[in-house]
Chain A
Amino acid sequence: MEDHLITRKQFAAAILVSQLSPLLRLLPQTAVGFAGRGAYLSALPALVPVLLLTAMLASFRRHMRPGEGMGGLLLRWLGPVAGRLVLILFAAWFLFYGGFILRSGAERLVSTIYPSSGQALFVLVTILLCLLVALGTLRAAARAAVIMRAVLISALALVIVFSTPNMDRRQLLPIGWTDGVPILLGALPFASVGAVSAGFSFLEGYVERPKNGRWLWGSTLLLLALGGVICATVVCVFGPALTATLTYPFFVMIRSISLWDLVPRIEAVVIAAWVGADFLLSTMLLRCAHEALRPVFGLPSPEGPAMGSIRDGRAMLWLEAAAAFGCSFFFDLPPWELRLWSDRYIPLMSDCVLYGGFLLLWLVTLPKRKKRR
């Protein structure tokens, strides 16, 4: 078992890379829609709910036994009936959200690079690749995440540096007290993206101890800082009013970047790199769903090299992948309707499940934690 443990740094990388997918789907336009030119400052108020959630999860982590994730802990504390019900609800959310990520990632790739193609092919290939990874050891995905993190952050830095000639820093000012409420509202999408890490507490059984969660704070701060920088860059380039109306302002910005006359366009490489973030998030969600359902059905841990096997509870992973694939067809919608889901319904549902759900669980399990102290 020890061989399959993920280091805390690898787990933090996997979480950060996974969060980069909703970050670019939500942040520039939704945050700017709420906060206008002050969207980059919305990262600061978002720190409060995200760090509170992180602290809340840390209080759960401290009570996890070796090899136990959030699924095992909740079943132990809530009992067989309520525990199972809660775990099934979480698993359903992970698969539904996974289906959405598959579809929205495919839509972004198709609409920005392969406009004449269908999305189903991309969804199918991605879910099969996700299943392939989820069937094996999570450590491979976490190690890949460390490389992906370096690639994606380098790509972001490159984009920001090469967008500098088009930036007008005056777009970020003036900011006054009257912008306070919009900036607070702009923190909502930041907080939604930050909360995605909460779902990964179901994978804690595969992460090395200690489980105090402090290591996650640096990753959370980096994520929110990246979000703030992206908002500031896009607003400097397009202005707040245009940013709020563009479909994918960040990717529209990338389209205009040339590396002098050597490489006239780089958007295909950057957008394709973002497929890595969608892929990792989908894989993690698939595995989170499995880790939520594993204690419900008393299945063993599927760690090990037998990727194509259906033993050790792996048959359930195939079913879960099929369910996520099925959910992706729910989002086979016209672009404007998918954007509505992406900007409003999904973040709202995610906040309800992750902030609301974990807060409720924290309150319900308060006596258990006090008793154990």
Chain B
Amino acid sequence: MRRLLIIYVCLSLALLGGCSASLEADTHDVERLLLIQTLGLDSIDGGIEMSVSSGLGPEDAPALVMSVQARGIEDAIARLQNYSPENQLFYAHVQYLLLGEGAAEKELQKVIEWVDRSPTLRMDTEMLVVRGRARDAVVDVSEDAADITQRLASLDRQARSMGWTIHTLREAAAALAQRDGALALAVEAVPTEGKVFTDEQQSAAVVPMGYAVLGPEGLLEFLSPEASLGAELLTGDPTGLLITVSGCTMEILDSSARIEAARDENGAPCAVTVRCRLRTGVLERDAGEELSPEALDAALCQTVSAWVGEAVEKAQAFGCDYLGAKKAVLTSADDLARYGGEWDQLFPALPVTVQVEGRVDRSYDLAE
């Protein structure tokens, strides 16, 4: 009996450990495993185009870059595997998800649902919207010396130091579910020709282009660089962002922003005031410009007011709350219960005032 028991337990363990034909599809041979690190999606007629890059391999082995057209995401994954029979493509370590304009417009909810159900992909994957096609960013940027993942990692570091925020798919999905609007960093693949001269082979680079506004159905619009700066001031941490005001290039040293509501006699929100405070430091200035520190402060406030105002106006025009105004205005549970349901009609009609308190701190270089 005891022998029978031992055999039974060993058999069970063997089955659970994957030594079974039905589990073979889920086993991963480490030697054949190829980690996909960047995944791009584009929308095409009758389906999608998926582009992937594995990132540089050990000892700088070139990245495997592939692109296929398919009816859907799972179909594309199966087809990609067909084109790489010697490797087992493994998506558990995807770091960047690039959505082309078309995919961001039409496939956003599908992508969110797919990642939710996927046993491998993470909701915390960083998501960027590519102006144009994601394929161009994945395929054109990848070359022997550097591939898209490396470029995106560099962009990631640079974006953080420059004050841009790369949102994850989770953050975008949560914002969309809660307030019908989200921001995603927009990037563009631009040719390096005429800019980079050391590469033997000319390729492309990925550069940030401000923010894309996502609605429940998908991409609504790309914000202008100025409105993107305004949105970043209201939603993120723009410390390190470079701005140019009256011929002076400045770096934002710190900032804070608050959205407040004025109430009518019934307690209903009747106007919105956006208050921003920021401190900047001058990095360089045009030789001919002569501005007093006070005038520079005033110019900073005026410029930033316009940027923030544009970001708020866009939110009102799109009817999508990517700035989180609802949570800022309807602060109590009672407010939410009374006005939460009609927020989509209420918010676009509210007059907006932007008040910016700006200070240019390191103006010693302008004093003389």
- Beyond the given pairs A242-B173, A255-B123, 9 more chain A to chain B contacts, judged by CB atoms under 8 angstroms and listed by A's residue number, are A111-B119, A114-B119, A121-B15, A121-B23, A128-B8, A129-B12, A174-B336, A237-B170, A306-B1
Interface size range on A against B: 35 or more
- Shortest distance from the beta carbon of A6 to any chain B beta carbon, whole Å: 22
Counting CB contacts under 8 A, is B22 at the interface? yes
Contact residues, B51-93 vs A (CB, 8 A)? 92-93
**What chain A residues lie within 8 Å of B16 (beta carbons)?**
125
Considering only CB atoms, which chain B residue lies closest to A120 in the complex?
B22
Count contacts on B: residues with CB < 8 A to the other chain: 34
A and B contact pairs by CB, cutoff 8 A, 6 listed: A128-B12, A237-B170, A239-B175, A241-B174, A256-B124, A307-B1
A179 within 8 A of B: yes
Which of A68-76, A198-206, A225-233, A245-253 lies at the interface with chain B? Answer: A245-253
> Which residues of chain B (22-39) have a CB below 8 Å from chain A?
22-23, 25-26
Check A256 against B122 for contact (C-beta < 8 Å): yes
Contacts of A256 in B (CB 8 A): 122-124, 170
Interface residues of A (CB under 8 A from B): 111-118, 121, 125, 128-129, 132, 166, 170, 174-179, 237-242, 245-247, 252-253, 255-256, 264-265, 306-308
How long is the Cα–Cα vector from A206 to B133 in the complex, in angstroms?
A: 67
Within 8 A of A (CB), among B175-217: 175, 177-178
B336 to chain A, nearest CB (A): 7
- Residues in B lying within 8 Å of A, measured CB to CB: 1, 4-5, 8, 12, 15-16, 20, 22-23, 25-26, 92-93, 116-117, 119, 121-124, 170, 173-175, 177-178, 327, 331-334, 336-337
- In angstroms, Cα B332 to Cα A177, docked, is 10
> Residue of B at shortest CB range from A240?
B178
User: Do the beta carbons of A121 and B124 come within 8 Å of each other?
Assistant: no
Query: A240: which B residues are within 8 A, CB to CB?
Result: 178
Main DSSP-derived SS at the A contact region: helix
Are B26 and A114 within 8 A (Cβ)? yes
* Contact pick for A176, options B15, B117, B124, B332, CB 8 Å: B332
**From A245, which residue of chain B is reached at the shortest CB distance?**
B177
Chain A residues, Cβ within 8 Å of B116: 246-247, 252
If A115-B119, A128-B8, A247-B116 touch, whether A238 touches B170 (CB-CB below 8 Å) is: yes
Q: Are A125 and B15 within 8 A (Cβ)?
A: yes
Residues of A within 8 A of B92 (CB): 265
CB neighbours of B123 from chain A (8 A): 238, 252-253, 255-256
Determine if B119 and A112 form an interchain contact, defined as CB atoms under 8 angstroms apart: yes
Are the C-beta atoms of A178 and B170 separated by less than 8 Å? Answer: no
B170 and A247 contact, CB distance less than 8 A: no
- Chain B hits for A116, CB < 8 A: 23, 25-26
**B22 in contact with A117 (CB, 8 Å):** yes
Cα A256 to Cα B20 with chains together (Å): 29
A177 vs B337: C-alpha distance when bound (angstroms): 10
CA distance A113 to B92 in the complex (A): 11
Complex contacts, B26 vs chain A, CB 8 Å: 113-117
Give the docked Cα–Cα distance between A122 and B77 (Å). Answer: 26
The CA-CA distance from A256 to B94 in the complex, in Å, is: 11
